[in-house]
Every structure is written in C-alpha cells, then in structure tokens.
Structure 1
Amino acid sequence: MIYTNVTRMKSFFILGFAGLSPQYYGPVSALLFSLYLSIAIGNFFILAFVFCEKSLQKPTYLVFCHLALNDLTFGTLTLPKIISKYWFGDSFISFHACFSQMFFVHYLGSVTSFMLLVMALDRFIAICIPLRYPVLITNNTISVLCGVAWFIPLPLMVGVVLHALTLPYCKSNIIAQCYCDHISITSQACGKDVIVVQVTSLCMAMFCLLLPLAFILCSYITIIVIIMKMSNAAGRKKTLSTCTPQIFITCLFYLPRCFVYVANTVGFSFSFDVRILLILLYSLFPAAVNPIIYCFKTQDIKQTLLKKLKTTKIRVEIKISVI
C-alpha cells in the first residue's frame, strides 16, 4: 500500500510511565530532577577537576573526561523533557525535536560503546605491553582515538534518522517511552518499508555495540589472564586495581542491556512500566554513578582529591586561628 496523502504529525506525546497515578507525579519529577542534578554535578566536576589539575591530564583520565562529557550531554538531552511532563504537565514534543532527540540518544550511546573500546585498549597496552605504553599511548594518541570514537557513529546515526524520516506516520502520536527512540517512533509509522527501516537500524545498533564489545571482552580476558599469572601477590592486586574502574564502567553499560536482550529472547516479558524503568536505569544510572567510580576507584584522582581537601581544611583552620 502506498501512502500519498498522509499528513505528517506536528508533535508526539511522551507517555512515560503509563500506570503512574497523578498523585505521584510530584515525587517522580523530584526524583528525576535529583538524578539529573547528580549527573550534571558529578560529570561537570570530573571535567573541571581534570582540566584544572595538570597531574591528572594523562591518557586514562582524558578518556574519563570524554565519557563524562558524553554522560552529561545524554542526561541534558533526555531528562528535562520527562521532568517537565511530570512537573508542569508538558507531555508534547515537536516532530523534529523528537527526531533530534532520537538521533542524540542513539548517537551518544554508540559513542559510549566506542569510548569503552578506547578505554579497554588503553588498559590492554598498559598491562600487556607496559614497556611500549609511554610510546604507544600519549595524550595526542588518546585524543585522536576519542575523536574517532565520536566520529564513527555520526554518519551511521544520521543515516538511521534520515531513513526513518522517509516513512509516513499515520498511527497514533504516542511515544511509549520517557524519551524519543527509534523503536518508539517507527512503531507509529505505516507501510511495508517499516520493517526495512527497523532491521537496518538494528544492524547499525549491533555494529556499534557488539563490535566494541567483542574487543573489550578479548582485551579484559587477556588482562585478567596476565594478572593471574603474576607471581607477586601485591603486584597482582595493584595491577588489578588499575583496571577495576574501567571494568565497573563497562559492566554498568553492557550488562543491563544484555540482561534485557536475553530476557526478551527467552520469552521473559516485563510489564510496560517495568520495561520503561529498566531502560531508564541502564541509560541514565551509569551516567550518575560513573563520577563516583572515577573518584573512589581511581587512585590518582582519589589521592589528588584527598590532598586538595586536606589543603583546603588546613587553610580554613589557619584563617580561623588568625581571626
């Protein structure tokens, strides 16, 4: 069937949690606002702290900064709209704004995947061939690799969005999500090309997620094998601690996604609101938690931060004693 007279929708309705009673709109919006504040403050702190502290401007921490910038951007582009829905009753988003949000949701998620690949490469070289690390991994090298990680998904996601724009949208304008994503939008499209568009986008998503994941798994398995072969127990512990933050961050990104995928594959179904909650958790929870991992699981950042706090405390005590 060819749709020639389909009027393009002017806006979409963000459904959010369909089963949520209006009496809980205030607490939910406050909770989401608190989540956004933690994402904004935590990731901005990491960016400012590494930028101001010259001793931390090393390859590993530059990757942390790129991830922090990504997380900050993702939270800023997704949370305000759902917060305004429950806080101010503003549930509508314009047609083009919805597609723009969809682009950034999938683009930033793909960038995170490739950035985790860069992080795994950094740890692989540092632990497996440490003598070559200062030569192979420099600030310039990491900057180039992170730039590539930002660039690779760009044309792919632009293609996905432009492909989705070719569809006629003649069903309801309800987005069964807390933000616009590809599945929610294209499920409102009509015509035989919908399947083609959805399968194409799925292939792009698998490329951006599974290709980096394959390298990440191989690199961390190799790293763990090498660490286990170390004869010095103290050396094993110290070496393992250098890649623990990266492993935590990678698990936070991939494990919930794999859980949802496996659950759907084996036929385990979630209720609508539980599915939305799971998507929010694996999309936004890592962005809020990652800065804590950077600060408390990375020795250089932790020690530098404690040193700064002690210095500030001493200065305050001296000023008080003088007064």
Structure 2
Amino acid sequence: LSNITGIHNFFILGFPGLSPSYYSPASAVLFLVYLAILVGNIFILVFVIYEKSLQKPTYLVFCHLALTDLSFGTVTLPQIISKYWFGNSIISFYGCFTQMFFVHYLGSVMSFLLLVMALDRFIAICVPLRYPVLITNNIIFALCGSAWFLPLPLMMIIIFQALSLPYCQSNIITQCYCDHISITNQACGNDRKIAQIVALCIAILLLPLGFIILSYFIIILSVLKISSSKGRIRAWSTCTPQLIIICLYYLPRCFVYLANFVGYTFNASVRIVVVMLYSLLPAVVNPIIYCFKTKDIKESLKMKLFTK
C-alpha cells in the first residue's frame, strides 16, 4: 500500500454550500433522525424478543432488518453530526475505508434480507400448505445468518481493490459519509479497476432484486387466481408491509443508478440529499411500517397498551 501514503486523512464535506449559520439546525435534524432510528429499531427488537407470540419467521426477519437499519445509522450519522455540532470534519484514511466497508456491507446485508423476506411471502402465498414445513424459525435463522455472512468476502474484495488504488487527488469526501464513489473519486488512474469494483457493487444490489421482482410477479399471479375478493385482499395485505419496505429501499437507488447510466448527473448538493434520503428514510420509517401495517404486531401493541 505504499502508493497511498500521500493522503493520511479525509475531510468530510457534508452538504456543499450550507452556510455555517445552519450548522446547528442541520446537526439537530440529523441527531433527531439518529434518535428516531435508535428508538424505533431498538423498540422492534425488544418487543419481538419480549413478546413470545411474535417469534415467528416473518417477525424474525423484521428483527434482522431492524438490526441492519440500527447499525447503518450508527455507522454513518455520528460522524456527520460531529461535523456540524463540534466542527470535527476529519476522518482518518483507514477510518474512512472502515466506514465505507460497513456502509456497503450493511447495504448488501439488507438486500439479502429483503430477498429472504420475499422468499417468505412467496412460499406463504404460493405454497401455503407447505409453509409450516419450509419456513420455520430455524430455517429463517439460517437464511438470515447467510444474509449476514455472504456479503463479507465480496466486501473484502471491494475494500482491498479500493485500497490498492493510488490516491493523489483531493482528500475531500463530497458526501456525508465515506462510500465507494466518494473515495475512489480521489484515486488517480486505473479507471478499469474502479469500473470493475462498481460493477461488483451493482451486482450485489441487483441480483437479490431480480429474485424479489420474480417472486412478487408470481405472487401477484397467485393472488389474482384466488376466487373470492376477501381472500385476495387478505393474501395481498400480508405482503403490503414487505412491498413498502422493498420499494423504499430499491426504487430511489435504482433511479439514481439509472440516471447515472443514461448520463444524467445530479449536482453535488442534490445527489447528497438524495443519497441521505434513500439511505436513512427506510431506517426511520420501517419500524412504523412494522407496527401499523402488520396485523400481529398491531394487535399485540393494542393488548399491551389498552388492556389492564
């Protein structure tokens, strides 16, 4: 790694053009977002663990999603909050790469967990009689464990390839946290290697999406074959929370990737705001979806809150 010793620290730019007079409000908003992520996702984890009736495959997947959202917020937000609250914009060279690793690793874990969630709904709707056999707590535990393990070697490849690049450009990270694009933009030369890493990142994101789209296409066909409208509504309602979560996660990302693919470029401020929204909004909103769009959790909450 002797070709990268020219840069020892990175400077987190945050939101370009933001006046210093808005630093305190910006830090307060980001802190409230982080607090919402902490409270919402810790609540889901504790509630499902405490409430024995919710320890079912679907809700165990929700717990893994909540843990991922909680981890992502913890990896990304404290640094940018510190920048606007305390004026601390510096992150070490290897600290930045460590943050990049967790940003993309947790994003990959989320993609695979959404695949597990789609598989759960696919079996529940399309082969309901075999659901109790095919989807058990132990099987979900193994699948979710695989979702945490599978991205690890791929992320290590991405990190070591990025570390092997020569860094001789600016040390300013035009983003609120270190990610692959913002770091490799500071590399000089070897565009082919950068393109290979980007292609691998996109594949990790889109391969689970391909299965998710196919499974929900088959689910829709199966729901349409149900003779009674009441049966169709009931079947579809069990998929609604998962669909909302998947759309919140994938649609903004696909929009940004597609825009870049066709040559449309956002200015730095718009791109950073969009990235922050699609990175953090699901982590804030998902616990609300779990509570208000999932019948069992909603009923359990009602019993706890309104019964003596």
> How high is the TM-score relative to the length of structure 2?
0.97
For residue 45 of structure 1, what is the aligned residue in structure 2? 43
For residue 91 of structure 1, what is the aligned residue in structure 2? 89
**How many angstroms does 1:91 deviate by?**
0.3
Answer whether contact 1:7 1:170 (CA < 8 A) is retained.
Answer: no
**How many angstroms does 1:23 deviate by?**
0.8
After superposition, residues 32-71 of structure 1 pair within 5 angstroms as 32-71=30-69
For residue 80 of structure 2, what is the aligned residue in structure 1? 82
Match 1:287 to one of 265, 279, 283: 283
What letter corresponds to residue 236 of structure 1 in structure 2? R
Matched residue SS, 2:10: strand
> How high is the TM-score relative to the length of structure 1?
0.93
Aligned partners of 2:12 and 2:193: how far apart in 1?
22
**How many angstroms does 1:260 deviate by?**
1.2
Answer whether contact 2:3 2:167 (CA < 8 A) is retained.
Answer: no
Match 1:156 to one of 146, 154, 157: 154
Match 1:196 to one of 181, 192, 200: 192
For residue 318 of structure 1, what is the aligned residue in structure 2? none
Query: Which one has a bigger Cα radius of gyration?
Result: 1
Cα distance change, pair 164–267 in 1 and its aligned pair in 2 (3 A): closer
Answer whether contact 2:13 2:89 (CA < 8 A) is retained.
Answer: yes
Aligned partners of 1:301 and 1:5: how far apart in 2?
54
Aligned partners of 1:6 and 1:97: how far apart in 2?
14
Match 1:123 to one of 95, 116, 121: 121
Moved more, 36-45 or 261-270: 261-270
Aligned partners of 1:266 and 1:7: how far apart in 2?
35
Answer whether contact 1:50 1:56 (CA < 8 A) is retained.
Answer: yes
Matched residue SS, 1:93: strand
Contiguous gaps of at least 5 residues in structure 1: 315-323
Cα distance change, pair 276–236 in 1 and its aligned pair in 2 (3 A): same
What letter corresponds to residue 281 of structure 1 in structure 2? L
Contiguous gaps of at least 5 residues in structure 2: none
Cα distance change, pair 4–81 in 1 and its aligned pair in 2 (3 A): closer
Query: Deviations along 1:233-265, whole A, 9 cap, x unmatched?
Result: 111111111010000000000000111122233
After superposition, residues 1-323 of structure 1 pair within 5 angstroms as 7-191=5-189, 193=190, 195-311=191-307, 314=308
Q: How many positions carry a matched residue from both structures?
A: 308
Answer whether contact 1:15 1:178 (CA < 8 A) is retained.
Answer: yes
Cα distance change, pair 25–253 in 1 and its aligned pair in 2 (3 A): same
